[in-house]
Amino acid sequence: MDISYILNDLNDAQREAVTLDERHALILAGAGSGKTRVLVHRIAWLTEVLGQSAYNILAVTFTNKASNEMRGRIENLIGHKAQGLTMGTFHGIAYRLLRQHYQEAKLPQNFQILDADDQKRVLKRLLKSLELDENQWPVRQVQSFINSEKEEGRRPHHIDPGHNPFVIKMVQIYAAYEEQCQRSGLVDFAELLLRAHELWLKNPLVLAHYQARFRHILVDEFQDTNTLQYAWLRVLAGGSGKLFVVGDDDQSIYGWRGAKIENIRRFDEDFADVKLVRLEQNYRSTGTILKAANALIAHNAERMGKELWSAGEEGSPIKIYEAFNDLDEASYVCNQIEAWCEQGGARKEVAVLYRSNAQSRLMEQALLQAQIPYRVYGGLRFYDRAEIKDVLAYLRLLTNRDDDAAFERAFNHPPRGIGQKSADAIREVARDQQISMWAAARLLVEKGFSARAKTSVQGFLELIDELAQMREGRDLQDQVMQVIARSGLQAHFEKDRSEQGESRLENLDELINAVSQFKPKPQETVPGLDTEEQAEQQVFGLPEQTDLLGEFLAQAALEAGEQQADAWESCVQLMTLHAAKGLEFPLVFMVGVEEGLFPSQQAVDEGGRLEEERRLAYVGITRAEQQLIITYANRRRLHGNEFYPLPSRFIREIPAECVELVRMSGQVRPTSEAPVLNTSVQAALAAQRPADYQIGHRVRHEKFGEGIVLNMEGAGDHARVNVFFEQAGAKWLVMAYAKLERC
């Protein structure tokens, strides 16, 4: 039998994995090492050499895209022999299983799947029927609790709430939600897998059938499995099925989503006679990039061990740009993209990666100004995000009460007890009398609303009037901060403790940054006119009494109105580091690589989170094929205030010989001088505190008055002190310029 077509394109490690006998196998596949090829060729080996029918093979992926790609490659390799192969995502396979065995699963034949939005709507109605205040029990928080418990395989009766009132109430809501879904024949995404798992546990004959059928189970991205998915696989494999799992413990970055890195680490303990094969040859990145990635990830403990290498060229050093501030950082990235294109590169070959979604705003603004087409991969542009549009709706009402679109968005968000009947009444009066919704609401408050509806609507109208009056005498940043706080939006999003909730809060902070940095465009001059004529011609510039809020809203609308590049157009890709996993680009920027931002302060503070942040940095580095550029800023605006962050510890962990420092002028320091960068960064990260002050000392500042030292960080020119001033509040100050005096 000629099996050259299966083995010819494989390296030694890949060939070892593909040709294993029928046993459990863990394939530790490094970034860019060809894991999909191994899975495809393993299936070909099973069918062509080991004589297994495709009917007896199950292949599980995490995305439909990966599943479709793999199926296409298998069909190209073995043709019609791929017929009968079962392949899909965990949820897709569970859905097919429940459709086939709906009676045993105690489901109606026509059960319906709830997506995330549908689930929120069901929970919203349920909370209302239970007479629970959504402000106290936010829908997203309830949804997160229920889904997390299901992913751990727990029904309400499995949860021991102890004496915790919050958990007791959540369990009650979970139980009521289950009853409602069962009555209505509804199944959410988390329920699909839990119900499929229970189907096997409660129906031994059904389980025996599938255990006999699926003799070989192949799993992609095994490091991303959660508790329930792993339990599902273990039950299905039983005592006879053979698991062939492919994953990388160094790329486990979804712990916040429920993924358990422990699953890949304990695989050889839970299954007998496991063969471990490491795929370490990388086909994506240069030797320099791989050397940096290996050195970085080596700082994590309890790794399974793996060293990426490449047969290709060493490539260019990694550039590390020390920006003056975040604006300079964004400008530098744009300049480098333009230089890449001038040298023959394409915009579609460039990706800008950041830790937090909120960081996209400055990059979007800079790219728009530089007229560089871009797309936000897997997400919305900054001014298209729901929480930003929420705040802008309030701000628009302050400048124009007759803005119906803004009124519609703001009047009951966050929920303030204005029911659908009241909303419909406002719309009807506005339509019939040809007036704005604001005017209609005023009329109905005066006469027409019930006492309860009147109180809710009047409260909203008074809130807007108060916020409008509050504008006088306040700067633009303070106006926006007041709106975010007093509207209830800040508190509303703070109740959502999920990653999405944190992202929304970060975006609100970034909106404050945008406002604090906003400057109206200067008045343009008209060629050929003298100064007096210019003064008369006010048409090209701003009037003397400029409404800054109105100008900011206009700019936000213009930026939101700018079209993203079309799918077919060559454009720069902006994305979070999480979204970048599985992708690759010739030129990659990692921006904002600073302590407190990446790694995030939360990760530093919470035990166990720092290693996942480092794995995320490893993922970011290994997205680059030819050139990697890492940037950090000496000064960054966060939460509306100036901060002076330290460069990230992840920069320190890259070998000095792999990098070259780019100065603010754009001048590249020779590689031979690179150790100077590493030494200076190490010194900064050592956080040697200045000896002049100690935490708790009272100090005096010529502008802010007297205060108490709360914290001190850094060394040399980067040394800074955090002082709580009695009149001005907490301030971070650079020691070199603060001119503090001991009291």
Residue 52 to residue 37: CA distance in whole angstroms: 19
pLDDT tens-digit profile of 537-565?
A: 444 444 444 578 887 887 777 676 555 55
Which two three-digit tokens encode residue 414?
A: 């966050």
pTM summary value: 0.76
Residue 381 to residue 377: CA distance in whole angstroms: 9
467-497 burial: b if 16+ Cβ within 10 Å, else e: beeebeeeebbbbbbebbeebebbebbebbe
Q: Supply angle C-alpha 457, 460, 466, rounded to 5.
A: 140
pLDDT at 545: 46
CA proximity to 98, closest of 86, 112, 84: 112
Which two three-digit tokens encode residue 283?
A: 């086909």
CATH number for the region 112-184 comes to 1.10.10.160
Residue 216 to residue 243: CA distance in whole angstroms: 6
- Assess contact for 338 and 647: CB atoms under 8 A: no
CA proximity to 479, closest of 381, 546, 544, 552: 552
CATH number for the region 318-381+569-685 comes to 3.40.50.300
Residue 719 to residue 686: CA distance in whole angstroms: 11
3-class secondary-structure state, position 531: helix
**DSSP code per residue over 364-427:** HHHHHHTT--EEETTS--GGGSHHHHHHHHHHHHHH-TT-HHHHHHHTTSS--S--HHHHHHHH
Q: Quick one: angle between helices 139-151 and 165-184, nearest 10?
A: 80
Residue 188: φ, ψ to 5° = -85, 175
- Assess contact for 271 and 24: CB atoms under 8 A: yes
**DSSP code per residue over 372-384:** --EEETTS--GGG
3-class secondary-structure state, position 277: strand
Instruction: Fill in the amino acid letter for 75.
Output: E
Is the CATH code 3.40.50.300 the one for domain 4-98+194-281? yes
Which two three-digit tokens encode residue 243?
A: 């698991």
Cα distances from 672 to residues 105, 658, 669, in angstroms, run 67, 10, 8
Residue 633 to residue 643: CA distance in whole angstroms: 10
pLDDT at 685: 41
- Assess contact for 32 and 299: CB atoms under 8 A: no
Residue 90 to residue 98: CA distance in whole angstroms: 12
- Assess contact for 381 and 360: CB atoms under 8 A: yes
Rg (CA), the chain: 29
Q: Is 262 exposed, middle or buried (0-12, 13-18, 19+ CB in 10 A)?
A: middle
3-class secondary-structure state, position 87: strand
Residue 265 to residue 300: CA distance in whole angstroms: 14
pLDDT at 544: 44
Instruction: Give the right CATH number for 384-516 from 1.10.486.10, 1.10.10.10, 1.20.120.450, 1.20.1090.10.
Output: 1.10.486.10
pLDDT tens-digit profile of 101-116?
A: 999 999 988 888 888 8
| Strand intervals (E) in 211-307 | 216-219, 242-247, 275-279
Residue 525 to residue 531: CA distance in whole angstroms: 9
3-class secondary-structure state, position 224: helix
pLDDT at 516: 80
| Strand intervals (E) in 146-268 | 186-188, 216-219, 242-247
**Length, in residues, of the chain:** 743
Residue 616 to residue 638: CA distance in whole angstroms: 22
* DSSP bridge pairs for 636: 643
Max CA pair span of the chain = 93
* DSSP bridge pairs for 712: 721
Sign of CA dihedral 136, 139, 140, 144: positive
Residue 704 to residue 686: CA distance in whole angstroms: 29
Pairing of strands 741-742, 698-701: antiparallel
Q: Supply angle C-alpha 263, 606, 135, rounded to 5.
A: 100
The CB density around residue 318, as the number of other CB atoms within 10 Å, is 25
680-714 burial: b if 16+ Cβ within 10 Å, else e: bbeebbeeebbeebeeebebebeebeebbbeebbb
Q: What is the dihedral of CA 118, 124, 128, 129, to 10 degrees?
A: 30
Instruction: Fill in the amino acid letter for 536.
Output: E
Which two three-digit tokens encode residue 439?
A: 């005017």
Which two three-digit tokens encode residue 409?
A: 């968005």
For residue 190, the surrounding DSSP H or E stretch is: helix 189-202
- Assess contact for 607 and 296: CB atoms under 8 A: no
pLDDT at 537: 42
pLDDT at 316: 95
Residue 721: φ, ψ to 5° = -135, 140
Positions in the chain short of pLDDT 70? 1, 497, 521-546, 558, 560-568, 607, 639-640, 664-696, 711-720, 729-730, 732, 734-737
Sign of CA dihedral 367, 372, 375, 377: negative
Catalytic machinery residues:
35-36, 220-221, 251, 623
